[in-house]
Structures are given as structure tokens and as C-alpha cells.
Amino acid sequence: MRRVVLVSGLIVALVAAVFLAASPWRPGGPSTATPSVRLAPSPTRVAPSVAAAPEPALAGNVVVTDEPALYASAVASLVFGMDTRSVDAAAYRTSLLAEADPNLTETGLADLQRLVDDRIPADDEWERMRENAQRSVFVVSQTWEPGSWQQVVIAGQAEPGWSMRNVTGVQTTHYSEDGQQRESSRERTITIGMRCPASGAGVDRCWLVLLGATVVP
């Protein structure tokens, strides 16, 4: 039992550290990352269908909304929905970073930039993908709030507006190989950290804070 408690406490501390580095209300710290833990989504934490949320206005590639589940789903769809035929790597990076929370500290923004860069193929790889007319589509199946994040909130370590959602869906990639059209599909899950409207949050819509390098349990 003691070991379980210690592990649980470590997860809470790691999740909190990600947001503490990004918070404008706390001093910046060293570069952080999400816990290196991958667990299957728990059905007991599945949120209501994202499709049931109100229709948002569109701004560029990501929806403008104050609903965390809907915003996280839109960001995940952008992350896993690359189309190399019409967009280059730099423009794709710009689209993601345009969603950065305007209240991020210098440290928090640097961490987000690093996490975004880790998700984008190198230029030479991007060009090879473009030569193969590679594009991907991501269909969201569920979103849920990580249990360890709930512990952060309960512990009172969450600043106003902080929110986190895991998003699971199927990424289908289409490409050309040896003159033939092919496709492959795989299930993907990503953790999205964001700041959404709340008392004292200082934002009027959801903004991006974190693209999880691993899935927060």
C-alpha cells in the first residue's frame, strides 16, 4: 500500500510540474515533460461524446470554444491529421503554436515549442511524405479527464482555468507507394493540457498549454 501511495504521489507531482512551469503566477522552472507512463483508457472516466457539444466557430485549424473536451479533440485532430500535400512543416508548426496560451511564461512557451517540435517530422522526412502524397485523418472516439489530473485539482494545485483531457481515436493515413494508393490505420491517444475560461483565468476561450509526450494516466 505504501508503494502505491508513493507512486500516486509522484504522478501527481509530475503532472503538476508541467503546469507550474507554464503558469504566469509561479516562477519558471526547468523544462518539464509528462510522466513516462502509458495506460489504457479507463471506461469509468470517459466523458460525454464530444460530438454532442455546441457547434463552435472556426478560427484557422482549431475550434474556438470554452469546452475542454471539444478543444482537446480539435487539437488532437490537428496533431494526428497532417496533410503533407498542401502544408509544409513550418506552417504546420505555426498552426499549432498559434494556439499557445497567451499567459504562458517564457519557460512554459519553450516547453510547448519543444513538445510541438517533437511531433513534427524533420524537413527531409516531410518532403518524402509529400512525394508519397501522404495525408492522415483522425477520428475521435472518446475523451476523458486523467485520474492523476483529478488528484492535482483535489490537492488545490491547479491554477484557474487549467484543464486536461486525454483524447483517443483512430488515425488513418493515406499514401502512394509503387504507383498504388494505400492506407493504414492505428489507434492513437494524446494528452492535451489547456487553459479555459474560469474565474481568474484571464482567457475568453481555451488555449493550448501542453501536448503530452506520453499519456497521463
How far is the first Cα of the chain from the last one, in angstroms, to the nearest whole number? 19
Supply the pTM of this predicted model. 0.76
User: What is the Cα–Cα distance from 154 to 160, expressed in whole angstroms?
Assistant: 13
For 59-108, the pLDDT digits (tens) are 445 789 999 999 999 999 999 999 999 889 999 999 999 999 999 999 99
DSSP state of 196: -
Q: Which residues contact 205 (CB under 8 A, 6 or more apart)?
A: 64, 65, 66, 71, 196, 197
Average model confidence (pLDDT) for the chain?
A: 78
User: What is the Cα–Cα distance from 76 to 180, expressed in whole angstroms?
Assistant: 29
* pLDDT of residue 47 exceeding 50: no
Closest to 75 in 3D by CA, of 132, 140, 127: 140
For 161-189, the pLDDT digits (tens) are 999 999 999 999 999 998 899 999 999 99
pLDDT of the residue at 61: 58
125-131 average pLDDT score: 95
